[in-house]
Structure formats: structure tokens, C-alpha cells
Amino acid sequence: MMAFSGSCSCGAVKFRLTAAPMFVHCCHCTDCQRQTGSAFVLNALIEADRVKLLQGGTRSYPQPTESGRPHVIQRCFDCGTALWSNYGGREQVRFVRIGTLDEARALPPDVHIYTRSKQPWVQLTGAGVGATTGKPAKVCQEYYDIAALWPQESLARRAAVFR
């Protein structure tokens, strides 16, 4: 397993993923666009206990969502860099911002979600090969069927988290 270390932009927060992610999302929803100030966000989904905070601290920022379910972004106390999120009140899984990782290019998305609201200039033809599936990235207008897309090992890890 390649070690994935990451940090905020000022270097006050450092962390390490102690396992490969279960799955990688590229989300094009309007909430993610607004919260990141970008066209999409790249998230590595991983068990919270496999994200080790090595230095510094984070602050929680609750976000509004279309669904009304909780979404909390953890940001560096000092520079405000978004490091990871928890969605739906599920603290067991973190959505780590891939751009904060030292080797971000090693984790291309397995799926592009909520492409119904993607920016029109974002082209998803030849979307690349996913980090966890080794297959071409799926493109979904909305969310997707986890059981149909996630690798079996990742499904087992997810099941263990939510027992």
C-alpha cells in the first residue's frame, strides 16, 4: 500500500491515511462547487480511524445541504484549508480532500457524481481509470448504486464500519 500523507496549505496540520481509500468520488454538485469555489471536489472515502492526525488541529464547519442531512467540513485552525468532510451524520467515514494529499495524482476518481450540474466546459470523455477499481471511471447524473460500483474488498470494509 502506498502511504498517503497530506497537509493543509500552511503546514500546521499534517495527517496520514493508513490504508488505501475504499472509493474515490469526483462530485460535481452545486453544493460542492460553492463550498470549494471550484467546478468539483475530489474525495477519497476512507474509514475515520484510518486517518491519523499527526500534527495540528481542525475546526468543524457545518454546511447547508440540499438534502438537509448533516455535512461537516474539517478545516485547519490556522489557514482554513478543507481537509475532509463527514456526510449524513456518519462520523465513521471521512471524505478526504484529495488535493491535500502529497501524491494527489495517485488517486484518480472511480466515479463522477451529480454530473447533471457539472460545468458545461468540463468534458468527461475518457474519464480515466479509477484508483480503487482499476476500471474506467463511471459517470452518473446523480448518485449511484454502491453495491454495483465498489470493489468487493471496499464493500466489506464499509460493512465493517457500519455494523
**58 CB neighbour count, 10 Å cutoff:** 19
User: What domains can be seen in the chain, in order of their start residue?
Assistant: 4-161 (3.90.1590.10)
The C-alpha atoms of residue 158 and residue 116 are separated, in whole angstroms, by 27
Helix (H, G, I), strand (E, B) or coil at 32: helix
The C-alpha atoms of residue 24 and residue 148 are separated, in whole angstroms, by 15
- Reported as a single tens digit per residue, the pLDDT across 88-99 is 889 999 999 999
Q: What's residue 1's pLDDT?
A: 56
How many angstroms separate the first and last alpha carbons of the chain? 25
Name the H helices within 25-120: 30-36
The C-alpha atoms of residue 122 and residue 107 are separated, in whole angstroms, by 19
Instruction: Tell me the chain's radius of gyration from C-alpha atoms.
Output: 15
CA angle 115, 90, 57 (to 5 degrees): 100
Which pTM value belongs to this model?
0.93
155 phi and psi, to 5 degrees? -60, -40
Nearest to 17 by CA among 48, 41, 57, 60: 48
Instruction: Give the mean model confidence (pLDDT) for residues 130-140.
Output: 92
Residues in the chain: 163
Does residue 138 have a pLDDT over 90? Answer: yes
- Catalogue the long-range contacts made by 64-72 (C-beta closer than 8 Å, 24 or more residues apart): 64/31, 65/31, 66/29, 66/30, 66/31, 71/31
- Reported as a single tens digit per residue, the pLDDT across 52-67 is 999 999 999 999 887 7
